[in-house]
Chains A and B, each alone.
Chain A
């Protein structure tokens, strides 16, 4: 595999970086640019920005935040939340995003995945999946920060999305998100065994042991949010732990 990627995830509401539990119960953390700069300087391999209130407005409101980020942060930026059309994708790419993460609009109209992949390449089309456990080895895909059911089985959905042209999966466990109790490893294993495209595991990292577990379960990249925002963990420490576990990581 390629080097393990360590990704800082920034959930945004209005002008602020926020953090919630199970994608709800939001708390304002501060100016996203300050956090993003710090993560870039600590050697984050990528950044993910999610507009978590986009569905309220029916559009993504991150263009200004992304433009500021791309101005002096030189690692890949993925942007999600409220991306509904190829035009929305174009707008975000023009202000410096490299990839877009799409959930709701892809569920509503899977053909959008193909349109984005054809126009901008599949590397740009990240399928965002919010997975909620419904049985021992079954998960349902949700939208709107884990509030709306879709009726889609996560495994079926990622398989289909890959065939439609998705280039990567951002897999968020609604059950584990913000708990710092570790990832849903069965979920990560099931998804990474289903698709050949890279999978970013998101939701639940509290300790470096969690990171080691999820990579062993098959994750190609790990998104870290509140452990970084609350400075419970630093990226250098996470990188060192990954390295000593024998994973390839960037020397930053």
Chain B
């Protein structure tokens, strides 16, 4: 499997998580290797715009899009996931890869009770099925323990145009936030599987057998 090095993110931890789960990892900035990958991971930490800039400056944007178009397994993590959408609203509006229709919007500044809450949303939160009740028995989230807690650290989150792209949500002070999005073998996690203990490693393992 291949991890895209586009100048942002904690690549060491992502690499180690996949290696621990038995993968042979190629870390690359080369658009050729990206396009030829068997499985591709786009990690990421930081702002949306910096992420797109990182891909563009290295000439990787089209390679990532072409890889996704093949239908081979793809996993975006945090900002790497957010880039899948049409537009990011962090520090102004910025176009994304447009693979999954929708926008990346600020996490609501208040809880469901209308009171301000902590932003960024930092910490462990439980994955819950979205309202469309997708099938977790197959794919990225199969065989997780009940109420899987994973590690989030973010101020922005994806809002897909259509519920069919929602694979898992989390609830932050009564606010439903999209935590995993997907379309076929293309997945994105708002949380960090590489920092989510055994539940995160289970997701990494699942990705390796998609």
Contact = CB atoms under 8 A, between A and B. Distances in A.
B10 A93 contact: yes
Contact residues of B: prevailing secondary structure:
mixed
A33 to B, nearest CB: 14
B154 A5 contact: no
B118 A75 contact: no
Interface string A75-115: 11000000000000000011111100000000000000000
A135 interface: no
A72 interface: yes
A76 B195 contact: yes
A196 B16 contact: no
Contact of A70 (B12, B120, B124, B196): B12
Interface in A206-252: 220-221, 250-252
Given A45-B124, A71-B16, A75-B195, A2 B10 contact: no
A97 B9 CA distance: 11
Contact of A121 (B46, B124, B200): B46
A220 B125 contact: no
B173 interface: yes
A123 B122 contact: yes
Contacts of B119: 196-197
A74 B123 contact: no
A204 interface: no
A40 B197 contact: yes
Interface of A: 1-3, 5, 40, 43, 45, 67, 70-72, 74-76, 93-98, 119-124, 167-168, 196-198, 220-221, 250-252
The 9 lowest CB-CB distance pairs between A and B, nearest first, are: A2-B123, A250-B124, A250-B149, A123-B153, A96-B12, A121-B46, A3-B124, A76-B195, A5-B123
28 contacts: A1-B173, A2-B122, A2-B172, A3-B149, A72-B16, A74-B16, A74-B17, A74-B201, A76-B151, A76-B192, A76-B195, A96-B12, A96-B13, A98-B10, A98-B13, A120-B45, A120-B46, A124-B45, A167-B122, A196-B116, A196-B118, A197-B119, A198-B118, A198-B120, A251-B126, A251-B145, A251-B149, A252-B197
Interface of B: 10-13, 16-17, 20, 45-47, 116-126, 145, 147, 149, 151-155, 172-173, 192, 194-198, 200-201
